[in-house]
Amino acid sequence: MVRSGLVVVVLAALSASSWAADAVPVRCGDKTIFTYMQGPAPFKSYVQSLYTPSGVNVIRDHVADHIHHHGLMFALTVNDTDFWSEIDKCGREVSTSFKTRDDGVAEMLDWTAPDGKVVLKERRSVRAALPKPDGPAVVTWKMKLEAPEGAPAKLTGSHYAGLGMRFQESMDKIGDFFNSSGQPGEIVRGEEHNVPANWCAYTAPCEGKPVTVALFSDPTNLRHPTMFFTMPVGFAYQSATLNVYREPLTIEPGKPLALRYGVALWDGKVGADQVEAAYKEWVAARKPAKEEASK
């Protein structure tokens, strides 16, 4: 069973050189595992930084070539409103409730169209853990997506839409993607691939230090195995999608969609066997629904 150990959320004011204003760092003991930016900032809430156990941040925020790329973020299109890009005609994930907890953050968001209409409601939690002293840091991202009363929510989007991360510039073009299926998957555009798998990982040097980052999908997720998107050329990006690019998905009122994803971060280059072992431990650590509801 995975134990998170002592996790402390620190809300103290931080200098601009450390984190942007209002970013919340989440720590396991003396190690910062991630920082979280409450949205809209200005368009969405997201994980701003993700750290390996030794403190290497593997993701970028607000990148000049794609200003809508924010670390680890979840976005797609709802009822024809784009929540991925960030221009005036796009929607915003508006935070309506934000709480810190002993191992992370919990938030409620209204996905709001430019005309002010709420097209999707989300309940989100992001938690950190260090399961083993010599193992990876693990972040679990859970969400429940609900359609407003009387208004179905149709989910669509590009082939990369979902829970995605933009890696550090030093990791671009020199790393390797691999996944639980062992297959390269379908070429969607250029060298961009979509592949169904339980998990997908990327290993590359980050600021001169080798790291491995794996994105997990819970077997209970809709449309599992998950369709993972990988982009190795231009810059390094990966995401867990619902394949709404090929199969649009409609959430009916009163029938919420629950999803659970994880990110594991290692110092050093690890292989598929180690990622698979960590994935199985993460799946086994899932709390029963009744226990979750009581919190």
Euclidean distance between CA atoms 209 and 137, whole angstroms: 16
pLDDT tens across the length of the chain (295 residues): 333 443 444 333 332 333 345 789 999 999 999 999 998 778 999 999 999 999 999 999 988 889 899 999 999 999 999 999 999 899 999 999 999 988 999 999 999 999 999 999 999 999 999 999 899 999 999 999 999 999 999 999 999 999 999 999 999 999 999 999 999 999 999 999 999 999 999 999 998 999 999 999 999 999 999 999 999 999 999 999 999 999 999 999 999 999 999 999 999 999 999 999 999 999 999 977 555 544 5
- Domain boundaries defined on the chain: 7-286
Euclidean distance between CA atoms 41 and 212, whole angstroms: 28
Say if strands 237-241 and 226-231 run parallel, antiparallel, or are unpaired: antiparallel
Residues 6+ apart with CB under 8 A from 61: 20, 37, 46, 48, 49, 69, 70, 71
CATH of 7-286, one of 2.70.98, 3.30.1150, 1.10.10, 3.30.750: 2.70.98
User: Whole-model pTM?
Assistant: 0.91
Q: Are 24 and 126 in contact (CB under 8 A)?
A: no
If DSSP codes are grouped into helix, strand and coil, which group holds residue 169? Answer: helix
